[in-house]
Amino acid sequence: MRLGLFANLEQDEDEGAAGFHAQTDLVQHAETCGLDEVWVSEHHFNSFTQSASILPLIAYYLGITRTIRIGSAAVLTPLHHPVRLAEDLATLDILGKGRFGVGIARGGPFPSQYAHFGIPAEEAAARAREATDFLMALLRGEDVTFEGQFYTARNLTIYPRPVHKPLPIWIASASMDTVTDAGRYGFGLMAGHSWSVPMINTLLATYRSTGNHTTPDLVILRNVCIADTDEEAMRVALPALERFFIRMREFANPGAASSPVSLDNALTHSIIGSPETCRQKLADLSGALPIGGIGMKLACLDRTRAKEIVQRFREEVMPPASARREAALID
């Protein structure tokens, strides 16, 4: 099981550039602590999660690190032209030297993201599916001819060509149609921080129903906070979680009284507590699901303490790197 950091670039209204520098520092700290991967989110028009330019962020993080994988969680395919995206992904694949991973998604319930890019929200799902088909054709083949509702090409080859074939790709979606596409392409799967074990198992069953009976590389995001006691961990985590759900509710639907995902649901599926509690929660989760990687969404407002949580979770909750490598060999 790999350990990763989910980089959502959350910040207070007045942080500005300081928030970016703090996130950069945390990414470098994650590598120093021996984490396996960092996943960068994509959000637009939101002062709270300022990760709009996801591909430049990933390129920068690849440039300032040496060992850790940097991936997208996820590129919102309806908002990117597949030709431009294929060129960018192939370039990052070359520059990353095997440390770049691609997560793709349609995008959440955030109407402003579609509106300001001139995309009717009701077209987003169809655009995402067609964009994925076109993108994969461009990454995996040459002299591509494609005739779709939204995109067309004739005898098109993108350059540079990706080095890694296939380029490692994960898809983040609770849509059964999208998970079926993931099975067809052999993608990995990404599960949200509030998704339950039964829900994830249903997605895995749908994936296998395509005839692809392999187990996909499954990355699960979870809200994480570790402290000496369960009570202290919850005291640290709750303000961060409450801020997240308030701000994301405003972004999804300004003035709405409810959030697309509830705080209670996120807490139910979190890994928050003492080292003993976190180890047990992780063991329960890994016993129920074939986890390839855990992505930590840090539930903590204090940036210094956030770095401590990364280190403590790596050292006190996860098995040593050597044990994880041996387990992978046995599997």
Residue 136: is its pLDDT beyond 60? yes
Strand, coil or helix: what is 196? coil
| Per-chain mean pLDDT for the chain | 92
User: Tokens 């470098």 map to which residue?
Assistant: 28
pLDDT of residue 215: 92
Higher pLDDT, 262 or 293: 293
Of 233, 306, 218, the closest CA to residue 30 belongs to 306
User: Tokens 């809200």 map to which residue?
Assistant: 223
Positive or negative torsion for Cα 24, 28, 30, 36: positive
Strand, coil or helix: what is 305? helix
What percent of the chain is helix, strand and coil (3-state, nearest 5)? Answer: 50, 20, 35
Contact (CB, 8 A) for 73 and 40: yes
Chain mean position to CA 24? 17
Task: Give the model confidence (pLDDT) of 36-57 as tens digits.
Answer: 999 999 999 999 999 999 999 9
Task: Give me the mean pLDDT over the 151-169 stretch.
Answer: 97
> What are the residue boundaries of the structural domains of the chain, listed by start?
2-224+290-303
Q: Predicted confidence band at 253 (pLDDT cuts at 50, 70, 90)?
A: low
Residue 20: is its pLDDT beyond 50? yes
Contacts of residue 235, defined as CB under 8 A and 6 or more positions apart, other chains included, come to 227
Task: Give me the mean pLDDT over the 104-112 stretch.
Answer: 89
pLDDT of residue 322: 39
Q: Predicted confidence band at 302 (pLDDT cuts at 50, 70, 90)?
A: very high
Higher pLDDT, 193 or 15: 193
Residue 330: is its pLDDT beyond 60? no
Rounded to 5 degrees, what are φ and ψ at 109?
A: -80, 65
pTM: 0.92
Q: Which amino acid is at 142?
A: E
- Ramachandran region, residue 324 (left: φ > 0; alpha: ψ -120 to 50; beta: rest): alpha
Q: Identify each DSSP E strand in 250-314 by its residue range.
A: 271-273, 291-298
User: Tokens 């006190």 map to which residue?
Assistant: 316
Pick the CATH number of 2-224+290-303 from 1.10.8.60, 3.10.20.600, 3.40.50.620, 3.20.20.30: 3.20.20.30
Contacts of residue 46, defined as CB under 8 A and 6 or more positions apart, other chains included, come to 110, 247, 251
d(CA 37, CA 7): 10
Higher pLDDT, 64 or 255: 64
- Whether the upstream peptide bond of residue 78 has omega within 30° of 0, thus cis, is no
Question: What is the C-alpha radius of gyration for the chain, rounded to an integer number of angstroms?
Answer: 19
d(CA 214, CA 73): 22
Express as a percent the part of the chain with pLDDT over 70.
Answer: 94
d(CA 155, CA 281): 51
Of 233, 221, 212, 208, the closest CA to residue 308 belongs to 233
d(CA 10, CA 88): 25
Higher pLDDT, 325 or 15: 15
Task: Give the model confidence (pLDDT) of 61-90 as tens digits.
Answer: 999 999 999 999 999 999 999 999 999 999
Contact (CB, 8 A) for 181 and 129: yes
d(CA 215, CA 152): 33
Higher pLDDT, 253 or 153: 153
d(CA 34, CA 22): 19
Residue 148: is its pLDDT beyond 50? yes
pLDDT of residue 152: 98
Residue 296: is its pLDDT beyond 70? yes
Q: Predicted confidence band at 321 (pLDDT cuts at 50, 70, 90)?
A: low
Residue 326: is its pLDDT beyond 60? no
pLDDT of residue 237: 98
pLDDT of residue 280: 97
Residue 93: is its pLDDT beyond 60? yes
> Which residues in 141-170 are b (16+ Cβ under 10 Å) and which e?
eeebebeeeebebeebebeeebeeeebbbb
Task: Give the model confidence (pLDDT) of 207-235 as tens digits.
Answer: 999 988 899 999 999 999 999 999 999 99
Rounded to 5 degrees, what are φ and ψ at 94?
A: -65, -50
pLDDT of residue 261: 62
Task: Give me the mean pLDDT over the 161-190 stretch.
Answer: 95
Residue 327: is its pLDDT beyond 50? no
